Chain A
Amino acid sequence: MKKRTGMALVAAVFVLATLVPQAPVIAAQNNDEVRQGELALLLVNVLGLYRFLPAAPTEHEAIAVLLSNRIAPANGWEPDKPVVLADLAEIIVRAVDRAHEVDNPDDPQSWINFLASVGVPIDTIGLALTNVEPLNEPIAGNVFVSSVTTDPLRRRAVFGQPDEAETGTDVAFMVSQRPISLPDIVDVVITIPDIPRRPRPITPD
């Protein structure tokens, strides 16, 4: 019954919210401009970073995981700013992990020249992304971030054996979820006498 009530409540709020008057959506395909936030969402897919994010990540969430992997335009991410060629070049070079091969990183043209020298076309974003492979060494807050969240939609209680990635390190099965049996608890209760005991509740029988 309570489950049904909860579901009905959620559905009702959704229906009410969709009744809000709708204004035209300014989509990227209405013009040729793609915003940096939209590019970030495309990049986390091809780089294999999506598994560290919730099912429908926001642009901010995508940007956060890209920053953790040192992938950003020269002046950092500005979600609403249109992507320009120099920024795209730097992002693609960083995404393919070859930034250390660029001659003059402070010169925007140098990033474009490097891609041209290795035969990577970036005339369009779609074309540029075909040159990006999944990252070999992805860095993401996986275990700790997923377990610290208060959101039950995103929280993970169990992590793989023997290890999962955590900001470039390995973290094993979460100790807080270490399963224990009743004898384990009985053993502790018996051997530690100073645990405060709770009075038994008075019941009719």
Chain B
Amino acid sequence: MKWNKLWIAGLAVSMALPAATMAREGARNYLIHNRLRLEYDDNIRETERDKTSSFKIIEEIEFLVNFNLENTFVSFRYKPSFVWWENRDESSTDLHHDFDFIFNHKFTPRLALGIKDTFRYAELPEAIERGTVVRQRSDFLYNALLGTLTYQVTPVGRMEMSGRYNLLRYDKSEIADVEDYDMYVAGLSYRHSIVPETSVSLESRFETISYDTVDRDADSYQVGLGTEHMFSPNVLGNARVGYHYKDYSADSVSSDSAPYAELNMTLVPSPATRISFGIGHSMLESDIFPYANQDRTRLFVGVAYDVTARVSWNIAGSYIYSKYDADDAVVELADAEGVEFGDGSEDIIQLSTRVTYRVNRSNWLEAGWQFTTLDSDLRQDFDRNRVSIGWKTQL
């Protein structure tokens, strides 16, 4: 498979390049980390009833190398993760791959190009509900390639032209038929600095998403304004508002239009504390077959606190409210199965925290907890807790 060759190539590059640059003076331009965790997971298949719990051993190794030349910056990161499950009948192991690639180049003082690729290849366990397999075991591949060309039009004005290509592929045809997609995005922004602390931007976006099941395809247009502002040297935020129009290929689904908005803030109230939070609302591609759209509101908060010079505590939380409208269900697909789909909504809460103790400059001990709860009209509810202890070392 193509992606297998890709990650093998990524691994080879990640391994070879640091060795080739070890003679360089100064600090290392690469890092290699190993992270080993023992975890207890109380609901490995994310089901409401008949929960299965399991201990896990998670082994991750991360390779990162940067090349920082005069006008060019290149970075590779590869992180394979091996998971062993103490109690999972169908398969006791998973192997996941994360690969990130970054290329930035400055052609002239005015003109620059940024390319960023995010590749994920992972395995998903099957889901069994009341003795019935509701989701087969499946591997999936996700890739997002983003390129942005920036041109400094004036000392205070910058033009950004971007293109993005996302793809999602599942191995199992039953899932691939309804979930696989290709997404193309084109964007144009003009950013103007009013004062050094504040900039405003005019933004337009065009997005087209194409599923294997063609009736969920849609084209989207966004036009809006953005702003960035530094309230103080330790407090900054950005906001984005505009209007979103979405046109579906299915005859049974009429077009939608709605405003979108988001706000993000980062603040440092004390030297030991960093806080970030954000909220956003927009139309979005649907996660649930056969709906072609969802209206989603989401907020998050993250706090990082240095308890001592060696101990740090981090906590993050997120709440999602998704609304699905019966009018956005593709009737042709629903009728084919003899099922009618109504309005529905979902509430999802995720909490995550970790305490890290730095033993020395190369070793860290950690303890973490993750909690997820899904309350849905349209699919099975579930709660899931994951508790882990781990050791990370720099090689």
A and B together in one complex: yes
Where chain B touches its partner, the secondary structure class is: strand
Q: Which of B147, B337, B394 contacts A136 (CB 8 A)?
A: B394
Count residues on chain B whose CB falls below 8 Å from chain A CBs: 170
Within 8 A of A (CB), among B163-204: 164, 166, 168, 170, 174-175, 178-179, 183-188, 190-191, 196-197, 199, 203-204
Which residues of chain A have C-beta atoms less than 8 A from B232's C-beta? Answer: 76
Q: How far is the CA of A61 from the CA of B363 in the complex (A)?
A: 30
- B332 CB to closest chain A CB, in angstroms? 10
Question: Total contacts A to B, CB within 8 angstroms?
Answer: 394
Contact check: which of B196, B298, B370 meets A80 at CB < 8 Å? B196
Beta-carbon contacts under 8 Å, A152-205 to B: 152-153, 156-164, 166-173, 175-189, 192, 195-198, 200-201
- Pair B230/A139 contact, Cβ less than 8 Å: no
Contact: A160 with B122, CB < 8 Å? Answer: yes
Give every chain A residue within 8 A of B233 (Cβ-Cβ).
72-73, 75-78
Whole-angstrom distance between the alpha carbons of A133 and B33 in the complex? Answer: 13
Docked complex Cα distance between A171 and B314 (Å): 12
Q: How far does the alpha carbon of A153 sit from the alpha carbon of B185 in the complex, in Å?
A: 6
- Complex Cα spacing A188 to B394, Å: 47
Chain A residue numbers with a CB within 8 Å of B114 are: 54-56
B276 and A167 within 8 A (CB): yes
B276–A182 CB distance below 8 A: no
Closest residue of chain B to A100 (Cβ to Cβ) is B309
Complex contact B155–A144 (CB within 8 A):
no
Contact residue among A6, A60, A63, A67 (Cβ-Cβ distance under 8 Å from B186): A6
**Contacts of B33 on A, CB cut-off 8 Å?**
136
Chain B 61-97 interface mask (CB, 8 Å, partner A; 1/0):
0001010100001010101010100000000001010
Residue among A6, A26, A169, A186 with max Cβ neighbours from chain B (10 Å): A169
A residues 67-89 in Cβ contact with B at 8 Å: 67-70, 72-73, 75-80
B42 in the interface (beta carbon within 8 A): no
